Structure 1
Amino acid sequence: MLGLTAIQDVVLQQLFWTLTTLLHSTLLRLLFAINLLPVYCLRQAISVLPTATRKLPLILTRQGREKLVSQTEQYRIYEEEIAAKQYDGSYKFTPANVLPWAGRTSWPVNRKVFEICEINVRVTHTKPKATFGKAKPIVLLHGNPSWSYIWRRIIRHLTAVGYEVFAIDWLGHGTSDKPVNVSEISFELHMHTLRRVIEQLDLHDFYIAAHDWGGCVALCTIPTLPDSRHCAGLFLLNSFFPARPSDISTHYYLLYWIWFFSTGILGPLLPDSFVLRFMAPNISMKTASAYSAPYAQSMFKTKASISRFSHIVPGLPDWVYDLRSTYSWRVVEGWLGPEHFTNLNAQASLAERNRHVRGWWLGEFDDKSTRNAPEKVMILFGREDPLLPEFKMVLERYIGVSHIVRPADRGWLPGAGHYPMEQKPEEIAYCIAQLSES
């Protein structure tokens, strides 16, 4: 006889299979997005109303408008300085703005601790259970809203055949410390984290396997690594370059906006398990609880980085970001409160970085910087991914400085969605090993 938990698992799995199936329809995605849009706009209007009311007199005079423009510029400079300092590691988080890890997780593994900008990043370290030749170390990078726990079964397979594995928890995720201010969490912080961990582990000729946003961080960071820190191979799993609207069709673009509006409306109230179950409907309650465990300490304080990743996708056309330089835009931004545009600022920055990064991977530059590029790259996507499948072609089109190793089925993983680690761990571990041995 099925227990209560087993019955709940069956009900939830069927519910999310149904929801996922329904949202295969472009029309239903459009209806969802249309219905969420006014709620999202109302939510944003409520948040800016106090600031807009207080600053209303300034917008009525020329001198006041100049002051608003000045406030906009000062705030943008403030955020740019944060990103620059985090990029070079000189930034110092204020202890009051950081929630240290409480030490509670259902995944008891050995972890190394590294100080990044004076707070702690934790890296799962698993040594090989057996040694077969000289297997190179592998660094695993998770995406959003997950943490290193997502690699647990792949780690088990890799260490069983002789690999030493390191799995990073990005700051704000999993067992790493969690900044609580969204504006203090830049993409550059994660780039520095990856470089710093590689340096502290003294890795050479290592491999990176990355999922979702982890792949985006890797693609942007590898071009900045010194020659002494050579990444020999890159395995990309359901991942992307900094995403642009031109990369995907309307069908998938609509799901991005559903995700954007939903997280913007509910914020930390949106259960992590909802997202996980939508992307991987077969997930169990026990597994979903393990994913959520690192954030149980304080739901409203621990999810700033999850929110930041959700809203810094440069998903708007370039002309929108270009409008930010106009006088009228800067007046309105100062009036509504520049702090409310922090995610848009980060989007514009990442859109600019995207142009250089894609050019580097395509081999457009003449500065010999690509000599440190990975010799080989493997790209693998779960075939049933409801959000990212079109990015597979984008990755294959832009990676021109490394040999692309083709796995079976032309890089598609049948029977897997956006979280294939939960559905096909053995196959993924085999492909990672195949990349390092090819």
Structure 2
Amino acid sequence: MRILRTEEQRFAQLPDFPFEPHYLEVAPGLRMHYVDEGSPEAEPVLMLHGEPSWSYLYRHMIPPVVEAGFRVLAPDLVGFGKSDKPASIEDYSYQSHMDWLKAWIDELGLENITLVCQDWGSLLGLRMAAEHPERFSRIIVGNGMLPTGDEKVPTVFHLWRGFAVYSPWFPISRIVQIGTARTLTDAECAAYDAPFPSSEHKAGARAFPRLVPIRPDDPASEANRAAWVALEKWTKPFVTCFSNGDPVTRGGDRYMQRRIPGAQGQPHTTLRGGHFLQEDAPEDFARIIIDACRH
């Protein structure tokens, strides 16, 4: 496996991202970056990003949650952000992402985790919580789901999947902007483009859409079905805060509320915004996390 590493200078002077970088090796020669803010003794809040973003997505949410007394950890998934980037699309699989994330959690010894997840952060985080429920105390999902390949997939996702695999043009910041209701600044767009100085660096971002299970016989389908069996027994708090403007995940919140016992009686919320609600409603999203952690 050939591994690429984005030069640190590309991340200089990012707007609203003053966080000190931390790194852990999650496989031989493969380094994962993460933000780690707040007291090491405080209750950990794990914020998982999705496609094609990185921990920068949570920059406006990290400070208020830390100020409320929690430890916030926001890793960059392998292939994204400041984390290392295997150079071939074939280097990435659903299971490899699970293994890398599990190695990171184990190395840090995280327990009593509040999971905050969106997009691919949900595909990884929900399954992680289902497979290791003893490590997690509550789950907060925004615009995310755990697909098994047994559900009807929206046409817009099939188009997106084909674009990611075949388009010679894969503009990261434009993709984030399409999923965001407000207009990103030039500096913010540059921050989303920063991890990807060449097309080779984008292999992980191109891989993610085709790793989503869309058929019942997908390599990840069996494990995700097993995760749903566990989630259907999940009685710890499970909170949804989807946005009102995401055509891909619309309705997923109500689906999970029906199937997961821990969702009963929780203060589920619909926020205004697009797919990236961390960009459109960061203060409201952060408040939901803080309130959930305090109850």
Letter in 1 for 2:176: L
Q: What is the count of residue pairs matched by the alignment?
A: 288
Letter in 2 for 1:411: T
Q: 1:257-268 to 2 correspondence within 5 Å?
A: 257-267=158-168
Alpha-carbon distance in structure 2 between the residues aligned to 1:405 and 1:148: 30
The structure 1 residue matched to 2:178, chosen from 278, 282, 295, is: 278
Letter in 2 for 1:121: M
Q: Deviations over 1:292-311 (max 9, x none)?
A: 11112x2x211111111111
Q: Deviations over 1:41-98 (max 9, x none)?
A: xxxxxxxxxxxxxxxxxxxxxxxxxxxxxxxxxxxxxxxxxxxxxxxxxxxxx4xx10
Confirm or deny that 1:381 pairs with 2:242: yes
Aligned-pair CA distance for 1:393: 2.2
Alpha-carbon distance in structure 2 between the residues aligned to 1:232 and 1:247: 31
Q: Secondary structure at the match of 2:143?
A: strand
Aligned-pair CA distance for 1:109: 1.7
1:292 maps to what in 2?
Answer: 193
For structure 2, list consecutive stretches of 5 or more residues without a partner in the other structure: none
Letter in 2 for 1:124: V
Letter in 2 for 1:258: L
Alpha-carbon distance in structure 2 between the residues aligned to 1:301 and 1:116: 21
The structure 2 residue matched to 1:428, chosen from 268, 285, 289, is: 285
Q: Deviations over 1:339-392 (max 9, x none)?
A: xxxxxxxxx1112222211122113xxxxxxxxx57211111011112211222
CA contact (8 A) 1:207 1:231 kept: yes
CA contact (8 A) 1:377 1:405 kept: no
CA contact (8 A) 1:195 1:225 kept: no
Distance 1:99 1:404, change over 3 A: farther
CA contact (8 A) 1:121 1:176 kept: yes
The structure 1 residue matched to 2:26, chosen from 104, 116, 136, is: 116
Alpha-carbon distance in structure 1 between the residues aligned to 2:129 and 2:285: 22
2:110 maps to what in 1?
Answer: 203
Distance 1:168 1:113, change over 3 A: same
Aligned-pair CA distance for 1:174: 0.3
Letter in 1 for 2:204: S
Q: Secondary structure at the match of 1:394?
A: helix
Alpha-carbon distance in structure 2 between the residues aligned to 1:211 and 1:217: 10
CA contact (8 A) 1:231 1:374 kept: no
The structure 2 residue matched to 1:213, chosen from 107, 120, 132, is: 120
Alpha-carbon distance in structure 2 between the residues aligned to 1:396 and 1:290: 35
1:398 maps to what in 2?
Answer: 259
The structure 1 residue matched to 2:43, chosen from 133, 136, 139, is: 136
Q: 1:64-75 to 2 correspondence within 5 Å?
A: none
Q: Secondary structure at the match of 1:207?
A: strand
Letter in 2 for 1:167: A
Larger Rg: 1
Alpha-carbon distance in structure 2 between the residues aligned to 1:374 and 1:196: 26
Q: Which has the higher helix share?
A: 1
CA contact (8 A) 2:235 2:260 kept: no
1:313 maps to what in 2?
Answer: 212
Confirm or deny that 1:351 pairs with 2:250: no
Q: Secondary structure at the match of 1:379?
A: strand
Distance 1:182 1:166, change over 3 A: same
CA contact (8 A) 2:37 2:66 kept: yes
CA contact (8 A) 1:279 1:386 kept: no
Aligned-pair CA distance for 1:245: 5.9
Q: Deviations over 1:128-151 (max 9, x none)?
A: 5xx9xx851111100011101000
Alpha-carbon distance in structure 2 between the residues aligned to 1:379 and 1:389: 12
CA contact (8 A) 2:147 2:214 kept: no
Alpha-carbon distance in structure 1 between the residues aligned to 2:235 and 2:20: 28
Alpha-carbon distance in structure 2 between the residues aligned to 1:126 and 1:142: 16
Letter in 2 for 1:242: P
Distance 1:403 1:255, change over 3 A: closer
TM-score scaled by length of structure 2: 0.90
CA contact (8 A) 1:233 1:374 kept: no
CA contact (8 A) 1:204 1:231 kept: yes
Alpha-carbon distance in structure 2 between the residues aligned to 1:404 and 1:143: 26
Confirm or deny that 1:168 pairs with 2:78: no
Q: Secondary structure at the match of 1:294?
A: coil
Alpha-carbon distance in structure 2 between the residues aligned to 1:289 and 1:387: 25
Alpha-carbon distance in structure 2 between the residues aligned to 1:235 and 1:309: 22
